[in-house]
Amino acid sequence: MRHKILGIVVLMLFVQQAKAQWTKGEGKGYYKLSFWSLVADQHYTSSGEIDPNATRGNFTTSLYAEYGVTNKIDIITYVPFVRVYQNKRVSGVTGNTLQEGEAVNALGDVDVALRYALHKSSKLALSGSLKLGFPTGKSTGGSDGSFQTGDGEFNQQLQFDLGVPFKVNKVGGYGKITTAFNNRTQGFSDEFHYGLELGIKPIQKFWAIARLYSVNSFNNGSLSAQTAQGSIFANNVEYTSVGVELAYYLTKKLGVSLNYTSAVSGKIIYAAPSYSGGLFLEL
């Protein structure tokens, strides 16, 4: 699911926050409005090769929030509003329309998570989280059913994050390691996730962040992985992605961010980069 595994799945994906994942603290919050775009005319096949497909796009507007219920417990929510579309296909020889364009606009799959601080200090952060993915999106849509805004399954993801801050020549930064197990229902295969993240703050108010994230299928589901041209909601999706995010604080609490992410290898997933931008607020 490209909007989850690269956003960003990254999924996607939660990689929305521009700092290592220390819990927020009681009464404190982080809120973000994001715009994410993917346009692809090719995809990775089940064998990892790249094949062409009709140009499809996914534009997602999302609301993301973290709130500290206590000093050790955060509640996290992610609510996407998705537009899935396909461009009109026109013959380069005759100019005739070969296939009409089409689009579906709907709510995507909503995520709700609890994060617990297993250890929290100025030198180390170790947290565990449980994310529930609700099938609130459309699992079928459009004239052929492939214009999906969700996968139709309820999943539960157990995740651990280990974050360490550092300073080199007065330049602050952090490193983070993520591992997760995603239990999926409705015949989808379970998944193992891992990620690496490095953030530096070269100047005041500015963060530069690099990420590597990987999703690996256990191939233990009963649902067929073969869907039309590598649908972003197919079963047994696998990928390794790299991304860069830049975040700038306009004030002490308000900031903007830009993100570029692309899969460097994959199976049953679009072979194209995604772009996102957002406005975040820390209270």
Please report which confidence band the pLDDT of residue 21 belongs to, taking 50, 70 and 90 as the band edges. Answer: low
Q: Is pLDDT of 7 > 50?
A: no
The C-alpha atoms of residue 29 and residue 67 are separated, in whole angstroms, by 4
The C-alpha atoms of residue 162 and residue 21 are separated, in whole angstroms, by 8
Note the pLDDT of residue 35: 97
Please give the average per-residue pLDDT across 124-149, as a whole number: 91
Q: Is pLDDT of 125 > 50?
A: yes
Please give the average per-residue pLDDT across 25-53, as a whole number: 93
Please report which confidence band the pLDDT of residue 99 belongs to, taking 50, 70 and 90 as the band edges. Answer: confident
- Per-residue pLDDT tens digits for 45-67: 888 999 998 888 999 999 999 99
User: Which architecture characterizes domain 2-282 according to CATH?
Assistant: Beta Barrel (2.40)
Please report which confidence band the pLDDT of residue 105 belongs to, taking 50, 70 and 90 as the band edges. Answer: very high
